[in-house]
Amino acid sequence: MKKLLVAILSIGAVITGIANAELDNPGGVGGLKSLRGDTPIEETRPSDTMKKYPREQVIDSNYVYQPPLIPHNIRNYEVSLNANKCLSCHSWKNAKQMGATKISVTHFMNREDAVLADVSPRRYFCLQCHAPQANAKPLVENEFESVDSLR
């Protein structure tokens, strides 16, 4: 009986706390800003302008093993279970003819480092690691310094 009374009182305290929080913060925004800005969840904010993707501009890597950035526009590229537009140029078969960089041999290895005849399923979805380079301001403050700048 004592445990039941404690549980009921605890639930009451939680409910009271939630009710007080809603009264103190109508609308639920709480003064926090997200990538949506201060637009409430219930509203749709205008979309950002499209970023410009500079052609043939290669941005150097900032750290070891960083996946290379994509130096071209990938708008309307399909990368799905059934198709991968990236491989039409970057596969070992087509890269030379297309003048594109071949995908790394590491993309043909499974988790046990066994070499496969085709691209590993865990490396098939290119956009999980590779992102297009764009002239865009950072979304959040970043004080990253490359190793070379620390000398």
86 marked as part of a ligand binding site: yes
- Is 8 marked as binding a ligand? no
C-alpha–C-alpha distance, residues 110 and 126, integer Å: 15
Is there a binding annotation on residue 60?
no
Please tell me whether 90 is known to bind a ligand: yes
- Residues 111, 99: Cα–Cα separation, whole Å: 30
Would the annotation count 74 as a binding residue?
A: no
Residues 6 or more apart whose Cβ sits within 8 Å of residue 103: 87, 90, 91, 92, 95, 119, 123
Is 129 labelled a binding residue? yes
Query: Any known ligand binding at 89?
Result: yes
Q: Is 32 annotated as a binding residue?
A: no
Q: How far apart are CA 86 and CA 11, in angstroms?
A: 54
Sign of CA dihedral 98, 100, 104, 105: positive
For residue 35, which of 47, 18, 23 has the smallest C-alpha distance?
47
Q: Which residues are annotated as a binding site for heme c?
A: 72, 86, 89-90, 107, 126, 129-130
Binding site members: 72, 86, 89-90, 107, 126, 129-130
